[in-house]
Structure 1
């Protein structure tokens, strides 16, 4: 075995050890070094069926999509379709009629930096709807936490509003814009936690299920 093979085995062994130590149900690791891609997989993609994780298993995007959403916004900024200092009321008419007028004055830049004064999360009847434009209407009924630009407050809602901004700039729903404008050109086959587009429910590759591992070991 050459030095490269030994190093690969050492990385794989350390990966397996850490997965066991931290009681991770299933995981993948990819290491790209000196032009060579090494891939590792261990554990279960589903504790319900016992299906193992492979290097082809998709792990659905969750909060990690924030940096992808930000990248997509910047793509539209570079193309001239958006301006970072555009007020939201001009992009999302519902926010121009917001119960708290301050929400409409917040900018794309402030949404990106969590300084728009938007609440962290909201719940409404159509959370799983086919467009984030409807989400803007729900946000319009919420009070601002503080005047835009005054402070930092982490906000999932703010990034959902960025999804609506992307839809306004692109004429596509967020899922389609993310898929066709960013992920596919990068060679990334996405696995969304929720994809409301017709005909998109069936995955083209295995997808890991969500699960929880309790302190006593019960899954």
Structure 2
């Protein structure tokens, strides 16, 4: 049976929150987003929690799977993100398999080169990032929030910031990639920031 979804649960100042990720880039990004709310963020790595296998067929399903596993293991509210890079010319791939395209060694340059090779001379360079956040509670409650940003797949990669596929994605309206932007610039417009805005309204302490 799927966990019940509700919007009645809200974090309070002084709470501890597990970020259900071992990704240092995501931890830094979420720590910045959560700064100022009086919440202590612990990563799954800090707590030596195992990474569950992502067996769902959607971003939402994988986010729920990861958040519930961390909340159950830690006995604390847990926030998980499942996100991916989607390319129109590849039918939305790599999508939910974005991390797997980079392989166990997290070789994102190789993954970006694979996209470039498979896109070839296709004229349509439309691409987008999706992020689904899931806040899971030890009582089995889950809350999910989805954000998306559209833009273009760009080649060659450029920019020294960000992580993952950031060097090959330029949001609509410009030629700068996510990796060209400062953290503050990216966090103001990204797919994760858009999902976070929904999460903040529903789940974080209000001023």
TM range (shorter): under 0.3
Larger radius of gyration, structure 1 or 2?
1
